[in-house]
Amino acid sequence: KAGVTQTPRYLIKTRGQQVTLSCSPISGHRSVSWYQQTPGQGLQFLFEYFSETQRNKGNFPGRFSGRQFSNSRSEMNVSTLELGDSALYLCASSLYGQWETGELFFGEGSRLTVL
């Protein structure tokens, strides 16, 4: 079956702009989690959505937001981009959620560069 699909794979933005990233989970998976990965901080949890509801949120400013649609596809948005937002944004899906299983299926990520 198809894996987790993230679009776009690469993008370049300038400070102050906003960006929207998309994630299509594995068919049948209802949970989508987002992570930010940087060389210095590793994988940091942004938020988790399950059945269109945000279940958990990491320690990121309000400029980072997300949503999940009825088909389980998810989007995350970053407004007023800062240089420090340059990172690989990874989406992961699971059947029920991190709490229930812990086995996450990751997409290949969207690499954001902020200039």
Partner 1 sequence: GQNIDQPTEMTATEGAIVQINCTYQTSGFNGLFWYQQHAAEAPTFLSYNVLDGLEEKGRFSSFLSRSKGYSYLLLKELQMKDSASYLCAVRDIRYSTLTFGKGTMLLVSP
- 104 near partner 1, judged by CB under 8 A: yes
Residues 32-51 close enough to bind partner 1 by CB under 8 A: 33, 35, 41-45, 48
- 12 near partner 1, judged by CB under 8 A: no
Q: Which residues is 81 bridged to in the sheet?
A: none
3-state helix, strand, coil in the chain (%, to 5): 5, 50, 45
Spatial distance between the Cα atoms of 74 and 12, rounded to a whole number of angstroms: 21
Nearer to partner 1, 5 or 79 (CB): 5
Nearer to partner 1, 20 or 44 (CB): 44
Binding residues for partner 1 (CB under 8 A): 3-4, 33, 35, 41-45, 48, 55-56, 58, 90, 97-99, 102-109
